């Protein structure tokens, strides 16, 4: 094991430090968030700091970087109060990564990178048609963090999931949709099932649940 103190990291250039700290906390769920600005132009951004807050009410939150670094998604969500979260798969990961480029406000990233907007069920915000797991979200609250980032908390309104991944107990086996994870600033990984366990109890060993 190599040991690094926070003083070691502070002495590095900012790119090396960003790579290291972004990787350190682990693989992250990576999705495209779609939103629409006040002029009606749609926007796509890559987001990977996504957390499950609770199932009832169904709340999902994500971190938006500081406004000067990533202004469009948060601004559009403030204006419209709605957005969609769309899983990324290997078939379009290169197009998805291109959405992390800093396009000027008013550029439609669907057109720029070649992904397909999918409007349905009167939600008025497009989903990414190529995605096999899509969430329609309503803004609940935006919490400013100490470092200029924001925790954007949303309520789940619609979910669209490829049938192949759905289990009878509600579990969604996202290996069957090839939903990806990302690492650091620029790396994408595929995921394979290892083991599913029964609910852990203090007095006995967990059993195995088949995938």
Q: How far is the CB of 11 from a second copy (least distance, A)?
A: 12
Q: How far is the CB of 44 from a second copy (least distance, A)?
A: 12
Look-up of token digits 């109890």: 201
Q: How far is the CB of 105 from a second copy (least distance, A)?
A: 12
Mapping DSSP to helix (H, G, I), strand (E, B) and coil, where does residue 137 land?
strand
Task: For residue 106, give both structure tokens.
Answer: 């008013």
**Closest to a second copy by CB, 69 or 79:** 69
**Closest to a second copy by CB, 40 or 201:** 201
**Closest to a second copy by CB, 41 or 175:** 175
**Closest to a second copy by CB, 79 or 143:** 143
Residue among 65, 56, 113 at smallest CA distance from 86: 113
**Closest to a second copy by CB, 80 or 196:** 196
Q: How far is the CB of 39 from a second copy (least distance, A)?
A: 19
Q: How far is the CB of 38 from a second copy (least distance, A)?
A: 22
Residue among 113, 137, 140 at smallest CA distance from 127: 137
Cα–Cα distance, 116 to 66 (Å, whole number): 28
Residues 110, 116, 120: CA angle, nearest 5 degrees: 115
**Closest to a second copy by CB, 40 or 54:** 54
Distance of CA 147 to the CA centre of its chain: 20
Q: Taking the CB of residue 40, how many other CB atoms lie within 10 A of it?
A: 8
Cα–Cα distance, 211 to 138 (Å, whole number): 32
Residue among 151, 106, 113 at smallest CA distance from 32: 113
Q: How far is the CB of 141 from a second copy (least distance, A)?
A: 7
């Amino acid at each position: 094991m190599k040991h690094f103190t926070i003083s070691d990291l502070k002495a590095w250039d900012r790119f090396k430090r960003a790579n290291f700290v972004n990787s350190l906390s682990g693989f992250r769920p990576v999705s495209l968030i779609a939103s629409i600005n006040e002029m009606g132009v749609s926007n796509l951004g890559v987001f990977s700091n996504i957390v499950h807050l609770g199932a009832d009410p169904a709340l999902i939150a994500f971190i938006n970087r500081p406004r000067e670094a990533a202004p469009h998604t948060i601004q559009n969500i403030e204006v419209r109060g709605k957005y969609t979260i769309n899983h990324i798969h290997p078939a379009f990961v290169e197009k998805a990564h291109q959405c992390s480029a800093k396009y000027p406000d008013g550029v439609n990233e669907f057109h720029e990178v070649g992904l397909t907007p999918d409007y349905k069920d009167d939600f008025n915000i497009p989903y990414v048609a190529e995605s096999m797991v899509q969430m329609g979200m309503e803004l609940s609250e935006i919490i400013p963090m100490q470092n200029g980032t924001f925790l954007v908390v949303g309520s789940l309104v619609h979910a669209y999931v490829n049938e192949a991944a759905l289990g009878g107990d509600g579990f969604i086996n996202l290996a069957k949709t090839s939903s990806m994870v990302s690492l650091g600033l620029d790396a994408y990984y595929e995921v394979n099932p290892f083991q599913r366990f029964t609910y852990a109890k203090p007095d006995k060993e967990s059993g195995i649940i088949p995938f």
